[in-house]
Structure 1
Amino acid sequence: MKIKPATTFVFSLLLYKLIFAWGKVIDGGCMLSSTFCEPRWDHFHIGVDLRTPQGAGMAVYAPEDGYVVRVKVSPYGYGKQLYFKLVSGEVIMFAHLSGFAEQIEELVRKRQMNLKRYNVELWARKDELKFKKGEILAYTGETGAGTPHLHLECHNEEFGIAINPISNLNTSDHCPPVIKRVLFIPIGEKSFVRGAQAPLSVNANAYGKNYFSIKYPVSFIGSLALAIDCTDFTSSAIRNNLGIYSLSLLENDSIPIFSRTFDYLPDSLFYLTQYAWTGFEGNIYYNLFAMDLKAGILENNGNKRNLKIVCADYFGNRATLKLELIPGKNNQQKRNGVISKNNELGSLEANDSLLSLVNPTLSIIKVGDGYYLKIVSERELTSVPALIAQYTDSAGKGLKSDTIFAEARGNHSFFARFLPPRRSRRMALHIIFPLEAKSTIKKYSIETYFVDTRDRRIIKAFGGKFQARFLPGALSEPIWCFFLEESGSSKQPQYIMFPERLPLTRKIELGIRIPEGEKQTGIMIASSNGGKARFLGARIENGYVVGNTLFGGIFTCDLDTTAPLIKFPFVNNARVRNLNRLYCRISDEGSGFGGEYTPELYINGEWVPAEFDPEKNLLEYRLQNPLEPGKYEIRVVAIDRCSNRAEAKRTIIVEGQNTIPKKTTINRKNRGSK
């Protein structure tokens, strides 16, 4: 990824470019289904995805002369992977494969049988697995993925970067990008957009195939940053939402303010998506600024400013948006209504003219350089609520109260810019809402901690019931973390960590203390963001159940004491003929499967390398040789991530002459391309 602010600053290694072209990778050309650095919530997509119209089993060819350096097999994540080093030094990674060239497949199977384990990793010597340009390396598939496609990455190991491989692929794009909306972000506590401190999203208006505008001028005071929600397509017939290759912001059509091009990405930025885009109200916006470089920040100079945003794909198809910024004023005025408070925690009285909320929920988000309280009311409101923020130090002393007037962004959502005291490393924050009944309030008590990038720190919140462990370098920038304890739907409390998107370079460790007397078997820590529990870990350490995460959000302890469910497609003592595969369905409603473990299949007590598809809940073994007539015991063992074990057996009776049908979809002979 390259960044060009007005001073033409770029990330290091900007001058590094690919100067060679590859041979074909798959038959029929390379149709893109995902692009390099395409937005993902928790990481950069550091490769491209290619459509495979024929599904699994399409040949993957060596793009240049080279040799295999690494092979990895797993049912999760990237599935079956192959790393191929070109003579020019770049390493190409192919993922989600269904199989490998015959000599590679033999090595994989040998390692699996020796270790009695499906998940294996091979490292090859330079002269061990050489391939010429156009020879078959592997076959496309869907291992570790939801649908068949080929994931391809290009890396330069010397510089530690991922490179956009699109210039070397036989692909095309005839459609310009589409611009959906622009996000206006106030920078600094004295900045306002259309009279408010909250970020403002404005829909773009189309007035041609690839021309857009913001219909009315946007007023602001102070400092402002822009971000844009846009997408690309390769053709009118294939409507995959693809990422953008380059963006630029110009003033008066010609003066460059900021630009970004996705040519490469340093490995160290893999998780730091907030450098490239901002998440707001469920949408992802490409940043036209860089906070760490103070690039792309617009200042109100008292004059009208005409800006142009240009989005382009790699093939030069462009979309242009024009907008106008004008000097504004602070529209915040003293509302009617009186809030009286004293120095007792939670003390608040509100008269009838003060708007109240109905079943409000609260979150804290970070956009640009600001922290915002986001309040959502169950009932649609025509005015905005007032809040009280009370601060105390770590000892609960030094109470200070501020009145916060929230600003409407929609009929139910309200935002209030919030700046924690910079001097403190820990404080308590109490947010008090006036509720529907005129004399009632709702109070959120939030523990607040400041964490620096160099800190090696374990934060123990709520008397040690919830903890977060940060290692030096885990954060790319200093940040305030906010912790909230709530009663969940179950007996276990929920712990909420704000902001949800953290500037992390690696995962942090979270722990929830197990109550005294409670069993420590089958317990796990889970994230329930979006309402569905997601397993984070089940390791027990010093009385805590521990897991790892890249996100804040909602966390809770959950109990999984239910074993996986195994279903065979045949009854016991079933009589079969011409059997070419054995399979069963395995499901788990709790912690699920993952990591280095894969469900296992045994034939007459002998382990065989059965493949597990967690998306389809399918464990399958394709027979290499026909089974001789006779009786066979088929046994399956499945252990979930909370160590719940299930075992099921079936006996089959193989009758008559058995043959393995000839393969028609995958031909693993190592032949050259035609």
Structure 2
Amino acid sequence: YLWPLDAERKLSSSFAEYREGHYHAGIDLRTFGRIGLPCRAIDDGEAVRLRVQPGGYGKALYLRTSDGRTAVYAHLEGFCRSLDSLAYHWRLDRGRNTCDIEIPPGRFTFKRGEVVAYTGSSGSVHPHLHFELRGADGAPFNPLENLYDVPDECPPILTGLSVVPRRWGSLVDGSPLAATRRFRLVADSRYAVPDTFELDGELGFGVRAYDQQTRGSYRMGWHETELLIDGALAYRARNSRFDYAHYGDVEIEYEARGGASPGRYLALFRKKTNSMGGREGAGAVTNGGPRDGVIALEPGLHRGEVTVRDAAGNTARGTFHFVMLPFGESGAVPPGPAAAPADEGAVALNFSQEVRAEGLYLGIKASPRLSNAPEAALLGDTTRAPLRVLPLPPDEYVVLVPPERFLGGARTVRVRGVDALGRAFERFKQLPLLAFETGSRDSVAVGEGLAARIQAPSVRGAAIVLAGAAESAAAAPPGLVPLGRPFTLDFAPEAFARYLLCTFRAERRAGLYRLDGEGRWRCAGVIAGETKAIEIRSPGTYAVMIDTEPPALRASALTREGPPSGYFKRRLIAVPVHEEGSGIDGESVSAFLDGRRVVCEYDGYRDRLVVPLPRSHPRGQARLRIEAADRAGNAGAAEYSVVIE
């Protein structure tokens, strides 16, 4: 295949990188801030699909090659002249601003090397070309594996190792929480973790790394990872291709971790819920004897090695060591005998909560210290089975409550014990959580007379969601009116086979908003614009708010340079628009020149509305009217006097 750009072969993203909610389906080619570079047909073929959207891929072209594969060019500024004409008139005739056109076979054919489109930044922040190749089955595959070479002599860089307890009672250095450590560079492309871990139970490992095409360039994902335990291959992950049916498995395979080396880690063990292709081996280790899907190790010192490789074959290796303790040496112990409750009010318990796929980890810290492990029970649980308690030196304990134990409505944990002075105590912890199995619903009160109803369309067994009032959250910006208090939803995404759904009864302008990492409220969905419920894609802080202000159209119309195909005028009309609430509804935007409707494109990344006009449009002074509404239905309009060149 021909390289799609007449430009230096420099990348800013690689295949199957982590993206929030999905894998990156292609490679990103750098254009060095430029817009309008010609995109060429990589082979003889025909255009089969053309899309114009304000988000996602923006303007995108799908080209079927002579061997049946599909090349995708995305984030374009525009298409070649014939396709620009098709996209414009299709929208104009239907009164639309977006399009997704399935092109009949043989209508637009191209020879290898012909210009089919031009690079841009539509649907994206920065100018670049997103380029991907799909097989005849529609599955994207890595074009750098066998088809294209890019100059790259820079090996990946290892930054962190995670050790993750996989089952109840499993410990890392005496703790049931995942541990992270930094890799240290010890030689050229060789790294090591200086600490030696003490492990008990079933555990998995994870790696944090990045690749660069040249030193100082963009940090990208890598191509292949191998985990060796005592010299034997334990796990391999190779990013060669994937099926869109497993697009969302990225949130299962990558885990955000804190600790000494916080960040996002690729799990080097196969989870039952992860169906991503190119993965082989068990990865997880245990001292508990042979079991399917786990590597059984003898007690003693063991050596691990992580190998990370990019598509050009550059390799980095990191080593670490761990001691497997005899099974159960530091595991859970049965609670000691508790005296009859005679609480003197002298024992204070501080509780903490962590949600995992295997259940709720309830941390207990006692003051003063206890004489032995306390007894814990879930009140109202029909099984009446005691809860296991794990002691953590010097004066902490962890209780695991499996998610299925909450399905019957039990929400209160009772803790009984005796402190070091022999004083008995009894404490209760009310757990603010929702419990789900496939198809079930639950709700959380978020204000007076207002409840957020949560539904789980598909659950892997049973799952829980911690739901409560947010301790602190950013104030709502002007125009957004809270209907209740912000609330948090904390859950393990891997426990759910499909996204959670949220509904609530409020006026049509009300929407669900999520607080992002920069402290800004982002709209997840609006009642008026949703035919179904609003998807909850990740844990976080949420609020139900009403967007009361329409989009603000700026007072003057500006112009910018148009797409280079020659179909449109050299200068286009661009109207700045400001919307901090629910967001612009791209299809609600209407533009009229002297009373006649024209196409108007919403560019949300640059907060503007663009009116492209064909070269055939008459020149001269005209009256432009723009009408725009947000997703909540608030509408605004403005008129401008413009000169069309």
Q: TM-score, normalised by structure 2?
A: 0.80
Is structure 2 residue 89 aligned with structure 1 residue 110?
A: yes
Q: Is 1:266 aligned with 2:243? A: yes
Name the stretch that deviates more: 136-145 or 486-495: 486-495
Distance change in 2, residues 1:582/1:570 (3 Å): closer
Residue correspondence of structure 1 range 82-161 to structure 2 within 5 A: 82-158=61-137, 160-161=138-139
SS of 2:468's partner is strand
CA separation of 1:370/1:429 partners in 2, compared to 1, >3 Å: closer, same or farther? Answer: closer
Q: Which shows bigger deviation, 170-179 or 135-144?
A: 170-179
Could you give the per-residue CA deviations for residues 470-515 of structure 1, whole angstroms, max 9, x where no partner exists? 33xx45x33412242326765503443331534555444211344x
Partner of 1:456: 439
Specify the code of the residue in structure 1 equivalent to 2:433.
E
Q: Does 1:70 align with 2:49?
A: yes
SS at match of 1:493: coil
Counterpart CA distance in 2 for 1:251 and 1:521 is 57
Q: 1:252 to 1:405 in 2, by over 3 A?
A: closer
**How is 1:529-608 mapped onto 2 (pairs within 5 angstroms)?**
529-530=516-517, 531-539=519-527, 546-569=533-556, 580-594=571-585, 597=587, 599-608=589-598
Question: Which among 313, 316, 333 is matched to residue 316 of structure 1?
Answer: 313
Which among 401, 413, 416 is matched to residue 419 of structure 1?
401
- Return closer, same or farther for 1:183/1:349 CA change in 2, 3 Å cut-off: farther
- For the residues of structure 1 that align with 2:213 and 2:201, how far apart are their CA atoms? 40
Distance of 1:604 and 1:388 partners within structure 2: 79
| Equivalent-residue separation in structure 2 for 1:65 and 1:535 (angstroms) | 43
8 Å CA contact 1:426–1:448 kept in 2: the answer is no
DSSP-derived class of the 1:242 partner? coil
Structure 2 distance, partners of 1:569, 1:224, is 61
Letter in 2 for 1:535: C
Aligned positions of 1:41-56 closer than 5 A? 41-53=20-32, 55-56=34-35
Range with greater deviation from structure 2 (313-322 or 273-282)? 273-282
Matching of residue 306 in structure 1 with residue 284 in structure 2: no
Change (3 A) 1:568 1:391: same
| Shift in CA distance, 212/134, structure 1 to aligned 2, threshold 3 Å | same
Contact 2:355 2:466 in 1 (8 A): no
Identity of matched residues, % = 21
8 Å CA contact 1:524, 1:558 repeated in 2: yes
| 1:268–1:505 contact (8 Å) kept in structure 2 | no
Alignment CA distance shift 1:104-1:333 (3 Å): closer
For the pair 1:289 / 2:269, whether they are aligned, the reply is: yes
State the partner residue of 2:276.
none
**2 CA distance for matches of 1:45 and 1:529?**
21
Where 1:304 maps in the other structure, the secondary structure is strand
Q: Please tell me whether residue 429 in structure 1 is matched to residue 411 in structure 2.
A: yes
Amino acid at match of 2:435: Y
Decide whether aligned partners of structure 1 residues 170 and 61 sit closer, same or farther in structure 2, where only a CA change above 3 A counts: farther
What are the within-5 Å matches in structure 2 for residues 341-490 of structure 1?
351=346, 364-366=354-356, 371-372=360-361, 391-393=378-380, 416=398, 418-420=400-402, 422=404, 425-430=407-412, 445-451=431-437, 455-460=438-443, 465-471=451-457, 474-475=458-459, 477-486=460-469
Q: Confirm or deny: 8 A CA contact 1:370 1:417 kept in the other structure.
A: no
- For the residues of structure 2 that align with 1:504 and 1:61, how far apart are their CA atoms? 42
- Equivalent residue, structure 2, for 1:10: none
| 1:425-455 deviation per Cα after TM superposition (whole angstroms, max 9, x unaligned) | 343434799xxxxx9999653234242xxx3
Alignment of 1:605-644 (within 5 A): 605-625=595-615, 632-644=622-634
Q: Note if contact 1:502-1:550 (Cα within 8 Å) is conserved in structure 2.
A: no
Q: CA deviation at 1:265?
A: 0.8
* SS of the residue 1:218 aligns to: strand
Q: Deviations over 1:335-386 (max 9, x none)?
A: xx999996xxxx987636x5x76xx9x663437x56545899xxxx9x99x9
- The C-alpha deviation readout for 1:52-101, integer Å capped at 9, x for no partner, is 12511011111111111100101111100111111111112111000001
Q: Distance in 2 between matches of 1:458 and 1:644?
A: 31
Structure-1 separation of matches of 2:603 and 2:375: 52
Letter in structure 1 aligned against 2:526: A
* Residues 528 and 633, structure 2, Cα contact 8 Å, conserved in 1: no
Call closer, same or farther: CA 1:50–1:400 in 2, change over 3 Å.
same
What's the CA shift string for 1:118-168, capped at 9, x where partnerless? 10121112211111111111111000100001111222242x522111132
Alpha-carbon distance in 1 for matches of 2:169, 2:331: 12
Q: Distance in 2 between matches of 1:203 and 1:326?
A: 18
The one-letter amino acid paired with 1:248 is E
Q: After the TM superposition, which residues 8-19 of structure 1 pair with which residues of structure 2 at under 5 Å, given as runs? A: none
SS in 1 for 2:300: coil
Q: What is the CA–CA distance in structure 2 between the aligned matches of 1:339 and 1:183, rounded to whole Å?
A: 38
Match of 1:187 among 148, 166, 170: 166
Q: What CA distance in whole angstroms lies between the structure 1 residues aligned with 2:575 and 2:444?
A: 45
Secondary structure of 2:545's counterpart equals strand
CA deviation vs aligned residue, 1:614-639 (integer Å, no higher than 9, x gap):
11111122443487676532211110
Whether contact under 8 Å (1:252, 1:306) holds in the other structure is yes
1:81 to 60, 85, 91: 60
| Aligned equivalent of 2:143 | 165
Partner Cα distance (1:132, 1:627) in 2: 31
Q: How far apart are 1:609 and its partner, in Å?
A: 1.7
Partner of 1:290, secondary structure, is coil
Separation (CA, whole Å) in 1 of partners of 2:340 and 2:577: 59
Counterpart contact for 1:524–1:545, Cα < 8 Å: no
Q: Give the match for residue 14 of structure 1.
A: none
CA contact (8 A) 2:528 2:631 kept: no
Secondary structure of 1:272 counterpart: helix
Selected match of 1:509 from 501, 505, 513:
501
Q: Kindly indicate whether the alpha-carbon contact (under 8 Å) linking 1:339 and 1:350 is maintained by their aligned counterparts in 2.
A: no
C-alpha deviation, 1:598, in angstroms? 5.4
Is 1:524 equivalent to 2:511 in the alignment?
A: yes
Which amino acid counterpart does residue 585 of structure 1 have in structure 2? P
Task: Report the Cα offset of residue 268 of structure 1.
Answer: 1.1
Question: d(CA) in 1 for partners of 2:361 and 2:224?
Answer: 30
Amino acid aligned to 2:240: D
Task: Please say if 1:247 is aligned against 2:247.
Answer: no
**TM-score normalized by structure 1?**
0.77
- Paired residue for 2:636, among 632, 646, 653? 646
SS of corresponding position for 2:501: strand
* Aligned-pair CA distance for 1:307: 1.7
- The alignment status of 1:499 with 2:479, answered yes or no, reads no
User: In the alignment, which of 176, 181, 204 is matched to residue 197 of structure 1?
Assistant: 176
Runs (5+) with no aligned partner, structure 1: 1-21, 434-438, 515-519, 572-577, 661-674
Superposed displacement of residue 223, structure 1: 1.5
